[in-house]
Chain A
Amino acid sequence: EAQVTQNPRYLITVTGKKLTVTCSQNMNHEYMSWYRQDPGLGLRQIYYSMNVEVTDKGDVPEGYKVSRKEKRNFPLILESPSPNQTSLYFCASSPTRSGPPRTDTQYFGPGTRLTVL
């Protein structure tokens, strides 16, 4: 089944304790992205990747890191989590890194609910 998977689905941690949220897709997609969803603010993009070893900042990258060593995986790293990073996180992927206009469907993972105490 074509899908985007995220782990863990739920995580409670403390301020400053490094964590990684994994994202994997089995559709051979080139483009991958991370969003966070907060009440009243909607979904906002954190980082994106156009291909292996190519990553770039989205709209809210502060406090996050990513890497893209393999096409299928795009982990989100919080080196020193803070309470303002408590949020619902979604990974997404789409088939092509071609330029606009883009009609590609984006496929989203099930979400990771992170609480930083």
Chain B
Amino acid sequence: DAKTTQPNSMESNEEEPVHLPCNHSTISGTDYIHWYRQLPSQGPEYVIHGLTSNVNNRMASLAIAEDRKSSTLILHRATLRDAAVYYCIPYYGGSQGNLIFGKGTKLSVKP
């Protein structure tokens, strides 16, 4: 499994953009990069995923480096509800289908 490195914590102001980095230098060529987040007292929830090109959805954008050794999750305008632990997960799937959650980045959003 690819090893990921994320900052332990980050802070943001409400309504400002947030860039959450992730290094995954050992990622295989077939691993997708998934991001999940876990709000306080809730189960993890899917945010976004991609393989090589940048991806956008209603929640966030995902910028993937050309060499795929790093990626950045972008929240365009942070809200208080975005305060959560964000997990970057290289994921191929396999028959077991288990997501390998690291420690993630705890994002705090200040009003």
Residue ranges of A at the interface with B (Cβ–Cβ < 8 Å): 4, 31, 33, 35, 42-43, 45, 48, 50, 56, 58-59, 90, 92, 94, 99-111
Contact = CB atoms under 8 A, between A and B. Distances in A.
Contacts of B111: none
A100 B96 contact: no
Interface of B: 30-32, 36, 41-46, 49, 91-99, 101-103
Contacts of B30: 100-101
B40 to A, nearest CB: 11
A110 B45 CA distance: 10
A108 B42 CA distance: 9
A11 to B, nearest CB: 16
A109 B98 CA distance: 15
A109 B43 CA distance: 6
A92 B32 CA distance: 19
A10 to B, nearest CB: 11
Contacts of B99: 43, 45, 106
Contacts of A110: 42-43
A110 B42 CA distance: 5
Contacts of B41: 111
Contacts of A35: 98
B30 to A, nearest CB: 5
A108 B34 CA distance: 15
Contacts of A111: 41-43
Residue of A43, A48, A103, A105 most packed against chain B (CB within 10 A): A43
A106 B46 contact: yes
A100 B49 contact: no
